[in-house]
Amino acid sequence: MKRTFLTIALGAALMLGANKAVDDAKALMKNKKYEEAVAVLEPAVKAAPKDVAVKNAMVEALLGNGDTYMYDEKLPPFKKYPAALKSYRRVLEFDKTNQKAKDNVAMIEGIYKSMGRPIPQ
């Protein structure tokens, strides 16, 4: 009986922590601080890997982070494309069906192929 209660209490604590992480990450994303949002969500993903809210927040943060690099006109291509590619690939780890991430990965890989350069891993 005690063990069951402790298991339930621990699960509830993890869920509350995950929800706080999601709230904190969303606040950061409103201010376009996507890398910070990803950092806030990493422990929540490890603690509750099946939590849909955490997963969705991570996808949103990673997409935002990828877009920030991809569309930053001040960054040279050799800096923005590898960083964006890394974020978009991580999106696909959480959501294999995310069309935006798939399209952007294909586009960046196509750019590298067209230049005859190796695709960053």
Residues 55, 49: Cα–Cα separation, whole Å: 7
What local confidence, expressed as pLDDT, does residue 22 receive? 93
Asked whether 32 and 52 are in contact (CB, 8 A), the reply is no
Residues 6+ apart with CB under 8 A from 44: 17, 18, 21, 22, 51, 54
**Structural domains for the chain:** 2-114 (1.25.40.10)
- Check pLDDT > 80 for residue 64: yes
What local confidence, expressed as pLDDT, does residue 17 receive? 53
What local confidence, expressed as pLDDT, does residue 19 receive? 87
Which letter does DSSP use for residue 97 in this model? T
Asked whether 55 and 45 are in contact (CB, 8 A), the reply is yes
- Check pLDDT > 90 for residue 46: yes
Highest mean pLDDT among 1-5, 10-14, 94-98: 94-98
Percent of the chain with pLDDT over 70: 85
- Check pLDDT > 60 for residue 2: no
